[in-house]
Amino acid sequence: MSKLIEWNDALSVGIQEIDEQHKVLVDLLNELHDAIRQHHGREASVEILGRLVDYTRIHFAVEESLMRILGYPEYETHKGHHEDLISQVNTLQQRMREGEAITFELLHFLRNWLTHHIMEGDQRYVSHFLSRGVQKTWEKKSWFGRLWS
């Protein structure tokens, strides 16, 4: 498979669970890129883009929940960036359902948005999360226990 994005340390926020979710997003974007490159058809691209959008919504919900729980001061701004992307991708999805072909231009838009968002926007919350007890390695029992105790 030809990769549009190669995962590397620059994309890591250093928190295992968030990085794992980002890797899934990168993999889905690479799968979409490969489907377009291999001319697998509009239906395949629509299906993969749908999975990418669904997983993105889940990922954003996780990030936003952590931001609320941990009192992240830039929560509203970050949530707004998430909402803008979902709105733009919903429009693109609708255009695809109506028969418009997905292009490499769309892929590059998604790649640039994802890498920029991770490397800049997501990096901003890392020190706040770590200062509030989030571990670099996800330790659900001890971490969540501390949140609710």
Domain boundaries, the chain: 15-148
Q: Quick one: 105 exposed, middle or buried, by C-beta within 10 A (0-12, 13-18, 19+)?
A: exposed
For residue 138, the model assigns a pLDDT of: 54
Q: Which residues contact 99 (CB under 8 A, 6 or more apart)?
A: 42
C-alpha dist (Å) from residue 44 to 2, 49, 73, 75? 16, 9, 40, 35
For residue 101, the model assigns a pLDDT of: 74
d(CA 90, CA 88): 5
Could you tell me the mean pLDDT of each successive run of 10 residues in the chain, 149 residues long? Answer: 85 90 92 87 84 92 94 96 90 83 78 89 91 72 44
Cβ–Cβ under 8 Å, residues 12 and 37: no
CATH code reported for the domain at 15-148: 1.20.120.50
- Spell out the SS3 assignment of 59-94: HHHHHHHHHHHCCCCCHHHHHHHHHHHHHHHHHHHH
Cβ–Cβ under 8 Å, residues 87 and 80: no
For residue 95, the model assigns a pLDDT of: 83
d(CA 141, CA 134): 12
For residue 49, the model assigns a pLDDT of: 86
